[in-house]
């Protein structure tokens, strides 16, 4: 390379080709065997090299929305099984009591999440798992016993709550990993 090639030109009509204008030219500023630069850092919350992305922290708002729904079913709507089928009627009363317990538990989860307390994730997991089981089992009984669309709706709520329980479990495990890394 001559000194003329390495120094920038002061002549306005002489323009050196940029790498973007000609894709076929080799980049002479970096030797071909040199290691490539690290990619730019990811946005906040994205996965970093060697670690998984942190699961989202329980949202107090959505926990309160879910709590309101369960509390409404458990204390205001209060379905009663009057079919004469003992299994069906018992599953309705189990569902009502589950809705009451889960509603109160979700209010507790919302308070813990708002305070950013470490117990928000494990309590959220327990409450969401109870909600999933408390919707899936009665919903299956109602579907088997010939109930209407309400059984399908309750089964759908069970699947949604199972996903919430899985997310709470992931958040709880991430907290445990983070605490273990801080100790070491």
In a domain, 4, yes or no: no
Domain count, the chain: 1
Structural domain includes residue 49: no
Average pLDDT over residues 52-75: 80
Condensed to tens digits (0 to 9), the pLDDT of residues 157-176 reads 999 999 999 998 998 898 88
Q: Is residue 47 included in any domain, yes or no?
A: no
Q: Name the most confidently modeled range: 21-30, 96-105, 113-122, 162-171.
A: 96-105
Mean pLDDT of the chain: 78
Q: Is residue 46 part of a domain?
A: no
SS (H, E, C) the chain: CCHHHHCCCCCCCCCCCCCCCCCCCCCCCCCCCCCCCCCCCCCCCCCCCCCCCCCCCCCHHHHHHHHHHHHHHHHHHCCCCCCCCHHHHHHHHHHHHHHHHHHHHHHHHHHHHHCCCCCHHHHHHHHHHHHHHHHHHHHHHHHHCCCCHHHHHHHHHHHHHHHHHHHHHHHHHHHHHHHHHHHC
**pLDDT tops 70 at residue 177:** yes
Residue range of the domain that includes 68: 60-183
pTM: 0.66
Taking residues 112-137, report their average pLDDT.
93
Inside any domain, residue 3: no
Residue 142 lies in a domain: yes
Residue 6 lies in a domain: no
Q: Which pLDDT score, from 0 to 100, does residue 163 have?
A: 92
For the cut 90, the answer to whether the pLDDT of residue 130 exceeds it is yes
What confidence category does residue 54 fall into, taking pLDDT thresholds of 50, 70 and 90? low
Is the pLDDT at 69 greater than 90? The verdict is: yes
């Amino acid at each position: 390379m001559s000194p003329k090639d390495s120094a920038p030109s002061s002549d306005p009509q002489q323009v050196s080709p940029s790498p973007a204008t000609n894709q076929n030219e080799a980049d002479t500023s970096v030797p071909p065997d040199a290691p490539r630069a690290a990619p730019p850092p990811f946005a906040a919350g994205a996965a970093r090299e060697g670690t998984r992305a942190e699961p989202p922290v329980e949202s107090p708002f959505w926990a309160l929305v879910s709590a309101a729904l369960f509390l409404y079913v458990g204390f205001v709507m209060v379905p009663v099984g009057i079919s004469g089928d003992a299994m069906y009627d018992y599953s309705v009363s189990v569902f009502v009591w589950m809705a009451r317990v889960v509603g109160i538990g979700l209010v507790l989860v919302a308070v813990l999440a708002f305070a950013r307390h470490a117990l928000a994730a494990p309590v959220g997991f327990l409450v969401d798992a109870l909600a999933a089981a408390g919707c899936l089992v009665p919903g299956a009984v109602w579907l088997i016993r010939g109930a209407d669309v309400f059984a399908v709706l309750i089964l759908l709520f069970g699947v949604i709550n199972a996903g919430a329980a899985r997310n709470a479990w992931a958040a709880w495990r991430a907290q445990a990993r983070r605490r273990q890394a801080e100790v070491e």
